[in-house]
Amino acid sequence: MSGNNVKELPQNFDRLTSLRQLILMGNKLSKVPRSFESLKKLELLNLSDNNLEEIPDFIADLTNLRSLDLTLNNIENISPKVNKIKGLIVSKKISKKY
């Protein structure tokens, strides 16, 4: 689902409980849907190059998450809860803000 200018994702992502990788880079997402909290097996989440300004606390419940790419967004801070996921590597080096 990369590079499709998607602005919003369907709420029924909670049905994808076995999903391990989700690559949504190059879209126009402004928020992470609450339904993502059901993706307990997710290991890689690429949200780079979107319009995100924050990462919700419920992402911290994805304890199998090992890679979270947030580059090229407008995120100022990441919740300390998310940073406490054991083994998680977060990429957030480049911002769209000038």
- How many separate domains does the chain show? 1
Q: What is the DSSP letter of 73?
A: B
Mark out the alpha helices in the chain (DSSP H runs): 80-83
6 lies in some domain: no
What is the structure's pLDDT at 98?
46
Q: Report if residue 97 sits inside a domain.
A: no
Give residue 8's pLDDT: 84
In the three-class reduction of DSSP (H, G, I as helix; E, B as strand; rest coil), residue 47 is classed as coil
At 36-76, the pLDDT tens digits run 999 999 999 999 999 999 998 999 999 999 999 999 999 88
We report the CATH number of the domain holding residue 32 as 3.80.10.10
Q: Is residue 55 part of a domain?
A: yes
User: Against a cut of 0.75, is the pTM above it?
Assistant: yes
Look up the domain containing 68 and give its range. 11-91
Percent pLDDT > 90 in the chain is 49
The verdict on residue 31 lying in a domain is yes
